[in-house]
């Protein structure tokens, strides 16, 4: 699933490690998320959206 995670992260001037720390996930998870190799659980997706102060649909792009 495509997402804007990297764009949002860079917009806040955060490193992958800092974002991983803030979300309490491993850095490898952030890397996989940004590359679109891993789809997060709904809980993690909510936490990411809440962290950036936006909605899930603004972070993750659902391709039909």
Partner 1 sequence: MNRHKRSLLIAGTAMAAFGLVCIAAWAYLMGLVDNGRFDGLAGALCGLGFGLLGGGGATAAMALWRVSPDRERQKEIEQHDERNIQVNRAALSVTAVAAFIVLAVLTFIFVVMGWFAAGILTVAAMYVLIAVYLIAHRRMNKVM
Please report whether residue 51 would count as binding partner 1 according to CB under 8 A.
no
Rg, Å, the chain Cα set: 11
Please report whether residue 15 would count as binding partner 1 according to CB under 8 A.
no
Could you tell me the two tokens for 20? Answer: 């991983």
Please report whether residue 29 would count as binding partner 1 according to CB under 8 A.
yes
Please report whether residue 24 would count as binding partner 1 according to CB under 8 A.
yes
User: DSSP of 4-41, one letter per residue?
Assistant: -HHHHHHHTT--HHHHHHHHTS-HHHHHHHHTTS-PPP
Q: Segment contacting partner 1 (CB under 8 A): 7-15, 19-27, 55-63?
A: 19-27
Residues at the site binding partner 1, with contacts judged by CB under 8 A: 20, 24-26, 28-29, 32, 38, 40-41, 44
């Amino acid at each position: 699933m495509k997402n804007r995670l990297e764009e949002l992260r860079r917009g806040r001037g955060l490193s992958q490690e800092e974002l991983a720390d803030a979300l309490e996930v491993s850095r490898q998870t952030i890397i996989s998320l940004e590359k679109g190799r891993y789809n997060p659980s709904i809980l993690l997706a909510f936490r990411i959206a809440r962290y950036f102060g936006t909605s899930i649909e603004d972070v993750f792009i659902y391709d039909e």
